[in-house]
Chain A
């Protein structure tokens, strides 16, 4: 490319960046002509638009957009709290929204400012700029984000106290050095969107940088097998946890599993193997690419898995020793609150953070260049659409709006902290 061509290209990108940023503010305010093709039953047009609004303004919309539930006709969308809410938010700052991760060894426990942290999205499946946006936001909000299974890019190391390192079956980019860099190590056994199946990064996305980070070959598809080929029993699993603890004795170990029929057994097995955090990833969770048959049909939704595991851990007398984290289809502040009322300590968020920076939940992330506005892409041109500061600002804003909703809800429920909400199914009502 000549210098002039580069310049012209940059001009075109600048134009589109401006347009997208303006559009994200304008679109939620459209009073007519809302595009009928936007959204779906889970992420409805209202949920997408209200998330754009929250990411722009730091508060929930008051123009009638539904920002709490979708229309999936089940799970979170039919659960409700037994209190009336209105648009006058009770913003009681005395209400404590923090949660403690890892209670087995109090010296290692980590408190985070929100009942949520960011889920693993690997370098390669998403752009570096988006990863940096998430990390910046995590630092500002005093929470965490996760590397996913694609290595630990150098620029992310500045945020090391807020970055979880994921160790998954492909071991891409995993080294003793990266394991020693993190406050939490996440052993990913499975992913809710493709439970029991391996991961797959399509060749188009394996650019030179991605290949280097993953210690692989450029433009060659990469597979993460299922399962860890060194783990076929709880005893093997324990060895795995011990291995991590030996390499980084200060770190908490999180075990991420999806939701089979015997999820209660998996959870207790993991507890006995020494996990500090049990992270359940439900069937309707997000992904960069997964077989449609797996997303819809394999494993149970998170709404069912949480109470099953919570009650079982209570009955085994170990519930207060482990932190139970839920993910997979948690879209809103209200989904988080419901997950906690069902028995989780907190949640992991992925898609909602992507929506905050403009994801439309269209599902094209698996396509060659990845998503068209620079989230799930490694294309340098498209990556430029999100600057880390802009992205972080929007993610922080979205969580500020969530905080407002949590404080308001807890105040109305007569609770002083989000931790008091855990397992309070008596506060829920099922509208079926």
Chain B
């Protein structure tokens, strides 16, 4: 192929476009991927049978003899539910509970006959992080929301105001900012398409010295969400294959055992981040130069770092660090040795500490600030994972200092894996496996990321921000409950 600088006038259009591909807006293709299994409805409507018989009799009495005429049946048998719960042939005797929206009209009309309770099955469907102990969340609980996103690829929209707690301790202890009238950065709705969510993962030298070999090793992904490694006890073949296919299509990066490198087709190598950890045996080192990035556990780093640099000098290398006290110092010590860090919390977002483990957002922020103080933040990359299960957690993690996030149990929930108790650790045995079509699975994961991407754009757009990279560590774009409480309620006596 010609060099564009020396391309002769009259070169073919195709040739030109090969060198300078026309601008193509990033877009994730969504397609409905219905649930494989019904999620238990958060609501459980009940009808008292005796009461129901009384209602029918009353209605016949109300309309007199006319009521027995076929034409009048519609009025006599007209039932309160507009969502079809009582629309089966036997009506309220066998309510079609899966259609209940919790609207309560049946209760308003027949308070002594109809009742709508919380469905205990729904609470048991996920673990305590996925179905928090707040029944009022119902269709807004993470379990329902992620399933909706995975099946539709859309942004969840509902009427009425927020229904949950005023604030919480974890992600819910902060709100993201918005720009009102006067910010010149504001793009407005029509600028939304041009908001960039691309991030560069790896080492980015702050000074480029022409002539010298620059230490620029990055993998760029168009959306700051990676798929983290899930061990075989949590993810069967269908899950693993779905994740790989989805990563290839979006495209993003998936982390998986390094041994996989020999089996992957070329197209998936570009999305692959081989993990070299204590279970590592060997791999095809010659294919290493083609992967997106390489992840090495702390214990293995000294053993393999030289081989890696030799086999894949241009590929960014990340150190995988389990979050605990002291991580800040470790990062400071190694920030010049590796190209970035993948910080891991448990699936509920807590540090791996027995005593008062901090939440991932606070542990992350400490490390981010440590790098800022060292003057090294812009050269390295922080990816954070563990406890990131809703779209809103992505911008919040980025505000707290991450360049990108990795997701884990959200993938399992999107693929409708069943939780049989708390799934907090990567060694958990509480996930039930089932086989399914990886095509369906890949679409569910693609839909999930598409929905989160759209929601990230909503949040950036509300702030009037054009580039997700500008959000990193910008705590000025967030409001923390603790700070606001101090500022606003300073002069109010405490009980």
Assembly CA distance A8 to B396 (angstroms): 55
A36 at the interface (CB under 8 A from B): yes
Give the shortest distance, in Å, between A289 (CB) and chain B (any CB): 5
- Residues of chain A within 8 A (CB-CB) of B159 are 287-290, 363-367, 371, 376
Give the shortest distance, in Å, between B253 (CB) and chain A (any CB): 24
Name 17 extra pairs, CB < 8 A, besides A193-B161, A297-B175, A298-B178: A5-B71, A8-B72, A16-B109, A73-B166, A189-B181, A232-B181, A233-B181, A234-B181, A257-B181, A266-B182, A288-B159, A304-B488, A308-B484, A351-B160, A364-B101, A382-B82, A426-B491
Contact (A371, B165) CB under 8 Å given A283-B175, A298-B178, A300-B484: no
Assembly CA distance A20 to B157 (angstroms): 27
**Other-chain contact of A19, B80, B83, B157, B179 (Cβ < 8 Å):** B80
A61 at the interface (CB under 8 A from B): no
Contact (A297, B176) CB under 8 Å given A196-B461, A233-B182: yes
- Residues of chain A within 8 A (CB-CB) of B425 are none
Report yes or no: B161 in contact with A329, Cβ–Cβ below 8 A.
Answer: yes
Contact (A308, B488) CB under 8 Å given A41-B163, A195-B462, A431-B495: yes
Contact (A300, B479) CB under 8 Å given A197-B458, A237-B182: yes
Give the shortest distance, in Å, between A249 (CB) and chain B (any CB): 23
Contact (A292, B461) CB under 8 Å given A41-B165, A42-B163: no
- Residues of chain B within 8 A (CB-CB) of A9 are 74-75
B464 at the interface (CB under 8 A from A): yes
The size bracket of the interface on B is 35 or more
A227 at the interface (CB under 8 A from B): yes
24 A–B contacts from the bound complex (CB under 8 Å)? A4-B71, A11-B63, A15-B62, A30-B112, A39-B136, A40-B137, A73-B166, A77-B166, A78-B166, A196-B178, A229-B188, A258-B178, A284-B166, A293-B156, A293-B390, A293-B391, A298-B459, A304-B487, A304-B489, A307-B488, A351-B160, A363-B160, A364-B159, A431-B495
Assembly CA distance A227 to B178 (angstroms): 11
Give the shortest distance, in Å, between B64 (CB) and chain A (any CB): 12
Give the shortest distance, in Å, between A314 (CB) and chain B (any CB): 12
Give the shortest distance, in Å, between B144 (CB) and chain A (any CB): 10
Among the listed stretches B114-122, B257-265, B308-316, B353-361, which one makes contact with chain A, having 4 or more residues with CB under 8 Å of it?
Answer: B114-122
Give me the interface of B with A, judged by CB distance under 8 Å. Answer: 43-44, 59, 62-63, 71-72, 74-75, 78, 80, 82-83, 101-105, 107-112, 114-118, 134-140, 145, 155-167, 172, 175-182, 184, 186, 188-190, 390-392, 396, 455, 458-459, 461-464, 476-477, 479, 481, 484-485, 487-489, 491-495
Mark A239-275 against chain B: 1 for CB-CB distance below 8 A, else 0. Answer: 0000000000000000001101111011001100000
Report yes or no: A15 in contact with B59, Cβ–Cβ below 8 A.
Answer: yes
Report yes or no: A26 in contact with B80, Cβ–Cβ below 8 A.
Answer: no
In the A-B complex, the 7 residue pairs with the smallest Cβ-Cβ separation, listed nearest first, are: A74-B166, A196-B462, A365-B159, A40-B136, A196-B178, A40-B163, A19-B109
Report yes or no: B157 in contact with A430, Cβ–Cβ below 8 A.
Answer: no
Report yes or no: B459 in contact with A297, Cβ–Cβ below 8 A.
Answer: yes
- Residues of chain A within 8 A (CB-CB) of B112 are 26, 30, 33
**Other-chain contact of A27, B108, B137, B459 (Cβ < 8 Å):** B108
**Other-chain contact of B162, A42, A289, A304, A376 (Cβ < 8 Å):** A42
- Residues of chain B within 8 A (CB-CB) of A78 are 166
Contact (A11, B134) CB under 8 Å given A223-B189, A258-B178: no
Report yes or no: A291 in contact with B156, Cβ–Cβ below 8 A.
Answer: yes
Assembly CA distance A366 to B156 (angstroms): 11
Give the shortest distance, in Å, between A159 (CB) and chain B (any CB): 26
Closest chain B residue to A359, Cβ basis = B160
Contact (A36, B117) CB under 8 Å given A296-B164, A301-B166: yes
Report yes or no: A198 in contact with B105, Cβ–Cβ below 8 A.
Answer: no
Give the shortest distance, in Å, between A143 (CB) and chain B (any CB): 22
Report yes or no: B179 in contact with A260, Cβ–Cβ below 8 A.
Answer: yes
A95 at the interface (CB under 8 A from B): no
Give the shortest distance, in Å, between A280 (CB) and chain B (any CB): 11
- Residues of chain A within 8 A (CB-CB) of B165 are 41, 72-74
Closest chain B residue to A52, Cβ basis = B108
Closest chain B residue to A307, Cβ basis = B488
**Other-chain contact of B157, A257, A269, A292 (Cβ < 8 Å):** A292
Assembly CA distance A362 to B43 (angstroms): 11
Report yes or no: A304 in contact with B484, Cβ–Cβ below 8 A.
Answer: yes
- Residues of chain A within 8 A (CB-CB) of B140 are 292, 296
A318 at the interface (CB under 8 A from B): no
Contact (A23, B157) CB under 8 Å given A229-B188, A232-B182, A299-B175: no
A372 at the interface (CB under 8 A from B): yes
User: A40, A226, A425: which has the most chain B beta carbons within 10 Å?
Assistant: A40
Report yes or no: B74 in contact with A8, Cβ–Cβ below 8 A.
Answer: yes
Give the shortest distance, in Å, between A320 (CB) and chain B (any CB): 20
**Other-chain contact of A20, B44, B109, B118 (Cβ < 8 Å):** B109
Assembly CA distance A261 to B399 (angstroms): 14
Assembly CA distance A361 to B164 (angstroms): 12
Report yes or no: A234 in contact with B182, Cβ–Cβ below 8 A.
Answer: yes
- Residues of chain B within 8 A (CB-CB) of A106 are none
A38 at the interface (CB under 8 A from B): yes
Report yes or no: B158 in contact with A372, Cβ–Cβ below 8 A.
Answer: no
Assembly CA distance A8 to B181 (angstroms): 53
- Residues of chain A within 8 A (CB-CB) of B491 are 425-426
A153 at the interface (CB under 8 A from B): no
Report yes or no: A299 in contact with B82, Cβ–Cβ below 8 A.
Answer: no
Assembly CA distance A296 to B493 (angstroms): 28
- Residues of chain B within 8 A (CB-CB) of A301 are 166-167, 175
Give the shortest distance, in Å, between B462 (CB) and chain A (any CB): 3
Report yes or no: A225 in contact with B188, Cβ–Cβ below 8 A.
Answer: yes
A432 at the interface (CB under 8 A from B): yes
Give the shortest distance, in Å, between B269 (CB) and chain A (any CB): 34
Report yes or no: B103 in contact with A362, Cβ–Cβ below 8 A.
Answer: yes
Report yes or no: A430 in contact with B495, Cβ–Cβ below 8 A.
Answer: yes
- Residues of chain A within 8 A (CB-CB) of B145 are 292
Report yes or no: B166 in contact with A226, Cβ–Cβ below 8 A.
Answer: no
Closest chain B residue to A73, Cβ basis = B165
Closest chain B residue to A351, Cβ basis = B161
Assembly CA distance A233 to B494 (angstroms): 40
Give the shortest distance, in Å, between A224 (CB) and chain B (any CB): 9
Report yes or no: B182 in contact with A196, Cβ–Cβ below 8 A.
Answer: no
Report yes or no: B108 in contact with A266, Cβ–Cβ below 8 A.
Answer: no
Assembly CA distance A8 to B44 (angstroms): 31
User: A41, A75, A196: which has the most chain B beta carbons within 10 Å?
Assistant: A196
Closest chain B residue to A288, Cβ basis = B159
For chain A, residues 375 to 432, give those with C-beta under 8 angstroms from any C-beta of chain B. Answer: 376, 382, 425-426, 428-432
